[in-house]
Amino acid sequence: MAKYDYDLFVIGAGSGGVRASRMSSSYGARVAVAEERFLGGTCVNVGCIPKKLFSYGAHYAEDFEDAQAFGWNVGDRTVDWSRLVENKDKEITRLNGIYRNILKNNDVTLYEARATLTDAHTLDVGGEKVTAENILVATGGWPVVPDIPGKEHAITSNEAFYLPELPKRVVVVGGGYIAVEFAAIFHGYGAAVTQLYRGELFLRGFDIDVRQTLADEMTKKGIDLRFNANAARIEKSGEGFAVTLEDGSVLEADCVMYATGRAPNSRGVGLENAGVELRDNGAVMVDDQFRTSVSNIYALGDVTDRVQLTPVAIAEAMVLAANLCNGEDQRMDYADIPTAVFSHPNIGTVGLTEEEARRRHGAVDVYRETFRPLRHTMTLREERTMMKLIVDRATDRVVGAHMVGADASEIVQGVGIALKCGATKAQFDATVGIHPTAAEEFVTMRTPMPEPEAQAAQ
């Protein structure tokens, strides 16, 4: 008779938790997973998927305008926000069902209830006692709103997908990728948008040319970007809200959205009952095999606060399942992870920023081009595309690639493969471009930028 009910019990049926459950079961483990909210986690329900659907929709405003340059006569347009939300909900429900079937078809027991640890091998799952030899915590992250007066009036990305109607005036507070994405979404659908960021320039951690290019393009589109600005309090004002900034100025809004970060969702899981160590921000501390301070308890994904990306959580889950349930000895490789920001225009990036490359490699060559996309030679829209390569001068290896422009995410995915393979600039140069595309610019840039000192002198 088995000592425990399950070989592996997973808390959280998000992207990482479901993949770990499915793969572990395929290796012969007896697996169960508990989810108290919705199958698929943040990405499927209130993250990547609905956000990109909304982003697609927000592009149509400019597409309708641009169509005239190509001979189309487009009449009056109106937005039915409730139809957008309804159709999004149908798609999310479909995906929830897919996740349910994945678990069922792989013999994973699903508990649709809250699971909390009572000790290192025992859980309370909706009032039922369940035991497991190993436990995986994959509970993701949760939006954080700073403790300011009136914070109860603000929404986060969780609520933004369920707004009953499109707000006419929106204040977005934050400077990360979620903030710039929602600023673009609301603006694209016709809202007047002000984005506040307390620093000099948003998207900290991204390449400086990416940050500056996006700021320029968002400003051209009519989004009111306010840097070195922050909300001090939010008050009800008539049918809307008054947002008082730290400098005393006041903004009127129908919706105030905070996108100021996400915290690991580790509280209330009972980790303290098992002696699992957490960082000050609540992140679960793990080693390179995702083992916590308790030898049979593991964690991965956003709850560990390493790289908060869905594909990373999935990759981590594959490594964990192979090691834990198939006797392998894999390690997760976090180098050169491509990522995208679905801002308007999009960002695609992989590898090192220019600052990181100079710090790590010393002498680097930087290739950068900005240009009006072919499409806009007809529309006369002033949007510019920026593409950038960073090359380690000593080895000729391309160590960073960055793009701001239409389809950046699709283009940089392919470039990411090249960087992962250690491609050199000479190999990029030897690759024949596809013409006419923006992507060909990555293999046709030939002249490096002057060194920063020379640029400053010019």
Residues that are catalytic: 435
Whole-angstrom distance, CA of residue 252 vs CA of residue 230: 14
Nearest Cα residue to 215 out of 345, 389, 339, 370: 345
Buried (b) or exposed (e) across 114-149, using 16+ Cβ within 10 A? bbbbeebbbbbbeeeebbbbbbbbbbbbbbebeebe
- Transcribe 353-387 into DSSP letters: -HHHHHHHHSSEEEEEEEE--THHHHH-----EEE
Q: Which long-range contacts (CB under 8 A, 24 or more apart) does 408-413 make?
A: 408/340, 408/345, 408/346, 408/347, 408/348, 409/340, 409/342, 409/346, 409/347, 409/348, 410/348, 411/348, 411/438, 411/439, 411/442, 412/338, 412/340, 412/348, 412/349, 412/350, 413/338, 413/348
Q: In which residue are the tokens 């198939």 written? A: 326
* CA 318 – CA 104 distance, rounded (Å): 19
CA dihedral 108, 111, 114, 120 (to 10 degrees): -50
Helix ranges (H only) for 47-169 are: 48-58, 60-67, 81-105, 157-160
Q: What angle do CA 135, 139, 140 make, to 5 degrees?
A: 135
Q: What's the CA gap between 19 and 10, in Å, rounded?
A: 10
Alpha carbon distance 290, 284 (integer Å): 10
Task: Please enumerate in sequence order all residues whose Cβ is within 8 A of that of 331, keeping only pairs 6 or more positions apart, or say none.
Answer: 288, 289, 319
